[in-house]
């Protein structure tokens, strides 16, 4: 019997958590590594879940990728093939004819160590192995958005129209994913998408909170087969291992309630052992669910137009008027009074926005969002904190953005961030859960879900000299697709760089604020020329300074050069982004802005 036929006649019982069960039995070892190093252990666990009553088991491939396993591509390929072989052998040894195999695809987090292209290549390789071995089901497990899922589902369907595709999301108890997306909205999209056969939830929360969500989403599971796999509960850390309480009776009773919400596939995630699955098998009525695809109208809410509040800076930019943004660096210590003085000075210099750097060069300064709030409250100036991906994990990043929003921060510059200085890497760990595009996507989701009436308007950095101009333009477009409204460039000095930015402006339909950094001494000019990667300072610029010139003389030269560069940019620049060395705001009095 084919799986599609089986699910029409039976409710399906899915296995439990291979990863945590394997780890609890074998001293915290990683389950996927057992495919090659200890195949009998993996086989025994598959058999235990089948004996408990599971009739859909997942291949032991949730973390089968180069980054989780710490192995090269060839070793990962062998691992995946071995996982499929072991699972098939388990089904054969069970002697049962009503047990099916699903190729399991776990979420691979994108960060600076792995590109989106590399991640998609690994996904596709695993999918190809599943299809070659004619697995009847492919499941996407523990995803927090559909950005990667949608192209992969289409990839599968181009190769095989019959394989049963499941997409399972990971939610918190409030109904949002780690990416800040509404689970209801994502499930509604999946329910309306014919290429996907089943959708639902796994991991993240225990059975009690899962039941509360499933009750809310029961209308969706009238249209599309639902899959629900909660954790055993909320674990505690004991001897560096995640330990779950033994609450099998409570779990199975709650799963029986979940089943009544028309859920077709029931199983367990972290902490659920074969005993948990046996309890569900004993408690749950395994009669099939009935879908009402035609009879039930779409559960989607009526979409109403949301009128966003006007953002003065962005409205001026969109209107074609040149804007001026000035970057200030937060203090290294708690002495902020000088920074407030600088901001007050800029109020009288045709400045539309102050941007606040986020620990530039990987050296700790006062928090950019908190400092922006302080300056805005003290001066009334519009603020644009830089939000850097280097220092905060997903949880801290969301918390910071929410905190800034509550305190009326509505503008941001989203950047990947400078690396931690090499001398500090033994003590300081770079996080990079996000890179700039992924963080932009996250903020775009937050705008849609939480801030629609008054969204955060964010810009991106334009490293105009990095590689082929076609690649730079492509990255700009990727940022625009992620919600980026404008770009701020690196400092510009040469005619060649001006011509390159002009060309990018012609290639990409966007607003560009051109970077202006007045050089304030002979030493400063040589430092920027020789030590700042990605900034090209021509010799003729450096030669306008000399070692023994006074501070005032150097500032005059710096302001003259900046004014000359602005003149060359004026016919296509949408505005100017001033980076003032050492927060020397007096330079703005000397620069001519056109």
Q: Looking at residues 510-529, what average pLDDT do you find?
A: 95
The contacts found for 76-80 with CB under 8 angstroms, 24 or more apart, are 76/122, 76/125, 77/125, 77/129, 78/36, 79/32, 79/33, 79/35, 79/36, 80/35, 80/125, 80/126, 80/129
User: How many Å separate Cα 137 from the centre of its chain?
Assistant: 27
Cα separations (Å) of 590 from 15, 490, 515, 520? Answer: 71, 21, 17, 12
pLDDT for the residue numbered 169: 97
Domains of the chain: 3-108+116-283 (3.20.20.330), 314-589 (3.20.20.220)
Question: Are 91 and 113 a contacting pair, CB within 8 Å?
Answer: no
Residue 419 reports pLDDT greater than 90: no
The closest alpha carbon to 129, from 153, 161, 149, 105, belongs to: 105
Cα separations (Å) of 529 from 58, 301, 501, 523? Answer: 56, 56, 19, 10
Residue 421 reports pLDDT greater than 70: no
**Order of strands, sheet of 100-106, starting from the edge strand that comes earlier in the sequence:** 12-13, 265-266, 225-231, 198-206, 164-169, 137-143, 100-106, 56-58
Banded model confidence at residue 111, pLDDT cuts 50, 70, 90: low
For 117-162, the pLDDT digits (tens) are 899 999 999 999 999 999 999 999 999 989 899 999 999 999 999 9
pLDDT for the residue numbered 550: 95
Residue 56 reports pLDDT greater than 50: yes
Task: State percent of the chain over pLDDT 90.
Answer: 78
Strands, E, within 71-213: which ranges?
100-106, 137-143, 164-169, 198-206
What DSSP string describes 234-260?
Answer: --EEETTEEE----HHHHHHHHHHHHT
The closest alpha carbon to 46, from 62, 61, 57, belongs to: 57
Q: Looking at residues 280-293, what average pLDDT do you find?
A: 88
Residue 292 reports pLDDT greater than 90: no
Question: Are 328 and 343 a contacting pair, CB within 8 Å?
Answer: yes
For 318-345, the pLDDT digits (tens) are 999 999 999 999 999 999 999 999 999 9
pLDDT for the residue numbered 114: 78
For 185-218, the pLDDT digits (tens) are 999 999 999 999 999 999 989 999 999 999 999 9
Residue 354 reports pLDDT greater than 70: yes
pLDDT for the residue numbered 424: 53
Residue 422 reports pLDDT greater than 80: no
Strands 164-169 and 198-206: parallel
Strands 383-388 and 353-356: parallel
Rg, C-alpha atoms of the chain:
28
Question: Are 401 and 393 a contacting pair, CB within 8 Å?
Answer: no
Q: Looking at residues 399-426, what average pLDDT do you find?
A: 84
Flag the least confident range among 14-28, 83-97, 237-251: 237-251
Residue 516 reports pLDDT greater than 60: yes
pLDDT for the residue numbered 74: 97
Residue 471 reports pLDDT greater than 50: yes
For 259-272, the pLDDT digits (tens) are 999 999 999 999 99
Q: Looking at residues 573-583, what average pLDDT do you find?
A: 95
Question: Are 104 and 59 a contacting pair, CB within 8 Å?
Answer: yes
Strands 236-238 and 241-243: antiparallel
Sign of CA dihedral 286, 289, 254, 137: positive
pLDDT for the residue numbered 587: 94
In terms of average pLDDT, the best of 107-121, 166-180, 240-254, 494-508 is 494-508
Question: Are 327 and 578 a contacting pair, CB within 8 Å?
Answer: yes
The closest alpha carbon to 184, from 220, 224, 148, 222, belongs to: 220
* DSSP at 407: T
Structure-model confidence comparison of residues 237 and 166, the more confident one: 166
Banded model confidence at residue 239, pLDDT cuts 50, 70, 90: very low
Residue 585 reports pLDDT greater than 70: yes
* DSSP at 14: B
pLDDT for the residue numbered 343: 94
> In angstroms, how far is the first alpha carbon of the chain from the final one?
75
SS3 state of residue 427 = coil
Residue 302 reports pLDDT greater than 50: no
Residue 173 reports pLDDT greater than 50: yes
Q: Looking at residues 239-249, what average pLDDT do you find?
A: 67
What DSSP string describes 111-134?
Answer: BTTB-HHHHHHHHHHHHHHHHHTT
Task: State percent of the chain over pLDDT 70.
Answer: 94
Q: What mean pLDDT is reported for the chain?
A: 91
Alpha-carbon span 550 to 542, nearest angstrom: 15
* DSSP at 486: -
Q: Looking at residues 400-429, what average pLDDT do you find?
A: 82
pLDDT for the residue numbered 502: 96
Produce one character per residue of 160-198: b if its CB has 16 or more CB atoms within 10 Å, e if not.
eeebbbbbbbbbeeebbbbbbbbbbbbbbebbebeebbb
Banded model confidence at residue 297, pLDDT cuts 50, 70, 90: very low
Question: Are 472 and 504 a contacting pair, CB within 8 Å?
Answer: yes
């Amino acid at each position: 019997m084919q799986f599609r036929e089986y699910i029409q006649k039976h409710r399906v019982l899915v296995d439990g958590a291979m990863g945590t069960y394997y780890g609890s039995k074998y001293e915290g070892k990683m389950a996927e590594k057992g495919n090659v190093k200890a195949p009998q252990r993996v086989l025994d666990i598959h058999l235990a879940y089948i004996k408990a009553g599971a009739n859909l088991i997942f291949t032991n491939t949730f973390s089968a990728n180069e980054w989780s396993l710490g192995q090269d591509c060839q070793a990962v390929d062998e691992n995946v093939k071995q996982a499929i072989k072991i699972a098939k052998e388990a089904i054969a040894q069970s002697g049962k004819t009503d047990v099916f195999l699903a190729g399991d695809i776990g979420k691979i987090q994108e960060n600076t160590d792995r590109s989106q292209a590399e991640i998609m290549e690994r996904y596709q390789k695993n999918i190809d192995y599943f299809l070659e071995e004619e697995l009847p089901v492919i499941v996407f497990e523990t995803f927090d958005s559909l950005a990667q899922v949608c192209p992969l589902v289409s990839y599968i369907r181009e190769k095989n129209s019959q394989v049963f595709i499941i997409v399972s999301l990971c939610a918190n108890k409030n109904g949002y994913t780690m990416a800040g997306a509404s689970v209801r909205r994502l499930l509604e999209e999946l329910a309306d998408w014919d290429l996907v056969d089943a959708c639902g939830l796994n991991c993240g929360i225990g059975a009690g909170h899962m039941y509360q969500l499933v009750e809310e989403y029961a209308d969706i599971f009238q249209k599309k087969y639902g899959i629900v796999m909660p954790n055993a509960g909320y674990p505690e850390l004991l001897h560096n291992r995640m330990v779950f309480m033994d609450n099998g009776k409570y779990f199975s009773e709650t799963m029986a309630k979940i089943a009544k919400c028309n859920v077709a596939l029931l199983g367990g995630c972290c902490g659920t052992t074969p005993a948990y699955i046996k309890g569900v098998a004993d408690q749950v009525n395994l009669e099939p669910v009935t879908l009402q695809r035609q009879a039930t109208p779409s559960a989607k809410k009526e979409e109403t137009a949301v009128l966003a509040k006007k953002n003065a800076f962005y409205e001026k930019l969109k209107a074609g008027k040149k804007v001026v943004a000035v970057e200030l660096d937060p203090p290294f210590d708690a002495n902020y009074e000088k920074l407030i003085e600088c901001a007050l000075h800029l109020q009288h210099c045709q400045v539309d926005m102050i941007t606040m750097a986020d620990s530039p060069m990987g050296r700790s300064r006062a928090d950019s969002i908190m400092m922006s709030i302080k300056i805005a409250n003290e001066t009334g100036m519009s603020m644009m904190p830089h939000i850097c991906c280097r220092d905060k994990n997903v949880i801290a990043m969301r918390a910071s953005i929410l905190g800034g929003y509550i305190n009326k921060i509505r503008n941001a510059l989203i950047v990947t961030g400078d690396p931690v200085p090499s001398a500090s890497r033994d003590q300081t760990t770079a996080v990079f859960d996000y890179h700039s595009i992924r963080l932009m996507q996250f903020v775009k989701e937050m705008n849609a879900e939480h801030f629609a009436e008054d969204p955060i308007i964010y810009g991106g950095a334009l490293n105009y000299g990095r590689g082929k101009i076609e690649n730079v333009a492509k990255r700009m477009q990727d940022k625009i697709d992620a919600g980026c409204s404008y770009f701020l460039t690196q400092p510009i000095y040469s005619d060649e760089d001006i011509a390159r930015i002009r060309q990018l402006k012609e290639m990409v339909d966007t607003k560009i604020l051109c970077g202006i950094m007045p050089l304030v001494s002979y030493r400063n000019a040589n430092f920027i020329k020789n030590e700042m990667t990605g900034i090209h300072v021509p010799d003729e610029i450096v030669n306008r300074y000399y070692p023994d010139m006074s501070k005032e003389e150097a500032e005059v030269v710096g302001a003259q050069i900046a004014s000359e560069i602005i003149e060359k940019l004026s016919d296509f620049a949408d505005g100017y982004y001033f980076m003032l060395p050492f927060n020397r705001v007096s330079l703005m009095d000397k620069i001519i802005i056109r």
